[in-house]
């Protein structure tokens, strides 16, 4: 069955998965941008 919500995955919006998805996404983005901004800046995911 095709996704009834284009542009959105309702399975990622479930309360059980939301926290895990957001945490992993934040860490992944931090890992990607760190080489681009170092050594002038430091990437921190928790302040």
Between 21 and 27, where is the model more confident? 27
DSSP notation for 4-41: SSTT--TTTTSHHHHHHHHHHHHHHHHHHHHHHHTTT-
Percentage of residues of the chain with pLDDT beyond 90: 43
Q: How confident is the model at residue 7 (pLDDT cuts 50, 70, 90)?
A: confident
Q: How confident is the model at residue 16 (pLDDT cuts 50, 70, 90)?
A: confident
Residue 1 three-state SS:
coil
Tokens 């959105």 label which residue? 8
pTM of the model: 0.63
Q: Is the pLDDT of residue 1 over 80?
A: no
CA dihedral 30, 36, 9, 1 (to 10 degrees): -130
């Amino acid at each position: 069955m095709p996704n009834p919500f284009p542009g959105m995955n309702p399975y990622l919006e479930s309360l059980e998965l939301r926290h895990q998805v957001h945490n992993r996404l934040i860490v992944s983005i931090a890992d990607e941008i760190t080489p681009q901004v170092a050594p002038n800046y430091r990437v921190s995911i928790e302040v």
